Chain A
Amino acid sequence: MGEPEMQKMLTVSASPHKRTVHTTQGIMLDVILALLPALVLSVILFGPRALVVTLVSVGACVLFEFLSRKAMKRDMTIGDLSAVVTGMLLAFNLPSTIPLWMVVIGDAAAIIVVKQFFGGIGQNFVNPALVGRIVLMMSFPVQMSDYDAPFAWRMGEVDALTSATPLAKFAEIYGADSVKVAINASDLPTLSNMFFGVRGGCLGETCAAALLIGFLYLLVRRVISPAIPLTYIGTVALIMLFAGKGNLTFVAYQVLSGGLLLGAIFMATDYTTSPISLKGKIIFAVGCGVVTALIRIFGSLPEGVSFSILLMNILVPHIEHLTTPKPFGTVKVKKTKKEAAQ
């Protein structure tokens, strides 16, 4: 009061006074870069329409995020790029032939309902892109399983055939007496075609090679830990080893089919909807793997990746509570039965 000179105030804040250069935006940008190889391949395989679907989805997600934040009078968050990631992931989970207005409906479900209704980034309890996909699957089952054959876009209308995904063909193999014979009998694409994505499927999920490049990039940039993808894929592989009576070719087909790689690398590793501790991550991923395998073998749906991740998303708080890391220096005191009774 009455200070003769205005003195500049020093900034006072709690320690530490140095911070990392990493930002949420930087992390999301890394995820976008990791998704680019798969986007490029999807355009090569399914044509320019794959790019159109992706761009529409990204645009709609960013727009819905913008409108939601405005309507709720909260800080603008489109700059963190998380809506772009959601848009790309949802598009990657759609067939390239899907009508664009359906894509927008999926985006609305993902961003408005799942993400912003629960408080925005970091608050949603399930993966927004997955719910977007499931909403579309429930609402438009026909369009959602209308997979274009790879390279059909270059052959013109006449030759364009819709292609059944390999997963649909597994049904006959599960019960077969000889898995080897059954595989040979079915007209599954070759394993190398499976690896490079020359098969029917959602636009971003087919090319294993591109997804694995993205995986490596995320590992090198330390955006994700390998725990969830490796455990998830490993669990599915192990169960399919039994289901396929030890046939390794069958295991390879299973791993490369459907959305397993896309789901394990990019969806199950979503920070917000997976556990933080390593132990929690492993339990979560084993759960995803078991449910995926069970749906594939016994379910009426051919694919189980979306539902299994969704189910495990819901269990994350419980997994987290049960796997709280032991704080430094604490010793687990095992209660004897007597003490517990008291």
Chain B
Amino acid sequence: MHSEIIKPKKKVRGGVAVSHEKHTKDMPVKRIAAPETVVLPMRQHIGAPCVPTVKVGDEVKIGQVIGDSEQYVSAPVHASVSGKVTAVKEVKLASGLVSQAVILENDGLQTEYDFEPPTIDTRADFIKAVRASGLVGLGGAGFPTHVKLNVPADKHVDTLIINAAECEPYITVDYRECIDNSWDVFNGVHLLMDMLDVEHVVIAVEDNKPDAIKILERIAEKEDTEDKIKVMPLKSKYPQGAEKMMVLSATGRRVPPGGLPADVGCVVMNVASAAFISRYCKTGKPLTSRSLTVDGSAVVRPQNVRVPIGTEIDYILKACGGFKEEPEKIVCGGPMMGMAIVDTHHPILKSNNALLAFGKDDMSVKKETDCIRCGRCAKACPLSLTPTLIHRFAVARDAKKLEHAGTMVCMECGSCAYSCPAGKPLVQYMRHAKAVLREEAQKNG
């Protein structure tokens, strides 16, 4: 018997050994009762925001389109509860951005729209269907999936990478997707493999999830007559799951700065996104809910929940038993790249995969002291940057040196700031450095 397991082609440099904290890994995703109102922002993805297609007073059903855009890089927004449109207004998102939003009052009936499975004969049909499904990257970035799948004609994609690495601490929803919805994952992998017409499929997963590896191995084995599908266990090390790192591990290729995986013949898709696509193609039910890991030292009942998109964060935290201590910080997403939020009255978006509330003792706050040039940030950087030097160049507004040091390559994974003994907010410094470089570039035309 041949093996379905492959080794990474190249090792990822740097990275950090972050404590896994996967407390919720044995908790299947639970649906919680839909809230009385949902707030559906028109800006839930990278690209052009949608324009509301409903008006106040309209009755909508679950899955009905309520916002869409003419722009290519965009994805429609669907009603996540059935009921009445009570307002169309601007709201503030967790990121601080302001977006138009449609506010729905739940009638409690959960009436679904009359979905029809899409007819898919060609690749163009498939991409159209994925756009109609409203899918954006469920792993956190929120890039419209159909754009990713629509590889330009001049680029030849030979490898599909299914990302089940889930290297961020705490988050276990992708793991649960592999365990609980393995059929959907299986169907999704085959559908994508056929539609993209790739020669290789690599399912990447960190080796701290042996159960997931076993299931994925069976998925890779089944009906894979040409033996295209392989499982690639990765050493558990943050940020193995970053897109560029995935491509490097699976193929040994390096995505150029500012480039996309397609530039080196790859498409990377989150495992939950792949499973969703197969479900959508079968039922035609668009993206109206998503799974979230709710965890952190301040949460009474950490668990994985499935909530309608647009549910208020406060509502979800209360459904998990509320707080056992006053939260000091609440994070949307993982602890390494997630966003700390100002208050809990923001809606959950399509791309949110976790909600973490930390108490005072679990904050790992560090007083910022002077840089001692120990080089731990450079050692931790998977992209071979030297954050402390880049910060110095940014303070000096030296555009030439910033350019030379590869400032724009930074993906803000946070490995540098995590490992800094002086407690420097290096991700913030890198963002500042990028801003300085952009300003200087503008000045010089």
Contact = CB atoms under 8 A, between A and B. Distances in A.
B246 interface: no
Contacts of B330: 10
A19 B417 contact: yes
B421 A26 contact: yes
Interface stretch (B38-46, B219-227, B336-344): B336-344
Interface residues of A, number: 41
Interface in A5-59: 8, 10-24, 26-27
Given A10-B341, A15-B412, A122-B372, A325 B18 contact: no
Given A326-B384, A329-B257, A121 B372 contact: yes
B418 A20 contact: yes
A20 B169 CA distance: 14
A328 B383 contact: yes
Interface string A322-339: 001111111100000000
B343 A10 contact: yes
A328 B254 contact: yes
Nearest to A119: B370
A163 interface: no
Interface string B353-377: 0001010000111100111111110
Interface in A106-152: 119-123
A97 interface: no
B203 to A, nearest CB: 23
A101 interface: no
Contacts of A120: 370
A324 B371 contact: no
Nearest to B428: A14
Interface string A294-331: 00000000000000000000000000110011111111
Interface residues of B, number: 65
Contact of B326 (A8, A21, A272): A8
Contacts of A122: 370-373, 422
B329 A20 contact: no
Given A10-B327, A276-B386, A19 B423 contact: yes
A11 B363 contact: yes
A13 B18 CA distance: 19
Contacts of A320: 389
Interface in B408-445: 409, 412, 414, 417-423, 425, 427-428, 431
B421 A20 contact: yes
Contacts of B365: 11, 19
Interface string B316-351: 000000000011111100011111111100000000
B340 A10 contact: yes
Nearest to A13: B340
Given A15-B338, A122-B370, A320-B389, A328 B417 contact: no
Contact of B414 (A16, A26, A272): A16
B259 interface: yes
B142 interface: no
Nearest to B337: A15
B421 A22 contact: yes
Contacts of A10: 327-330, 340-343
Given A10-B327, A11-B328, A17-B331, A22 B419 contact: yes
A27 B342 contact: no
B291 interface: no
Nearest to B364: A19
A276 to B, nearest CB: 4
B372 A24 contact: yes
Nearest to B386: A276
B213 to A, nearest CB: 25
Interface string B97-133: 0000000000000000000000000000000000000
Contact of A271 (B364, B372, B382, B427): B372
B384 A327 contact: yes
Interface centre among B169, B356, B371 (most CB of A within 10 A): B371
B192 interface: no
B370 to A, nearest CB: 5
A100 to B, nearest CB: 29
B405 interface: yes
Interface string B378-402: 1000111110110000000000010
- Counting from the closest, the 8 A-B pairs by CB-CB distance are A327-B406, A16-B414, A328-B383, A276-B375, A14-B428, A329-B254, A327-B409, A19-B364
6 contacts: A12-B341, A16-B427, A19-B366, A121-B369, A122-B372, A324-B389
Interface of A: 8, 10-24, 26-27, 75, 77, 80, 82, 119-123, 271-272, 276-277, 320-321, 324-331
Interface of B: 16, 18-19, 169, 244, 254-257, 259, 326-331, 335-343, 356, 358, 363-366, 369-376, 378, 382-386, 388-389, 401, 404-406, 409, 412, 414, 417-423, 425, 427-428, 431
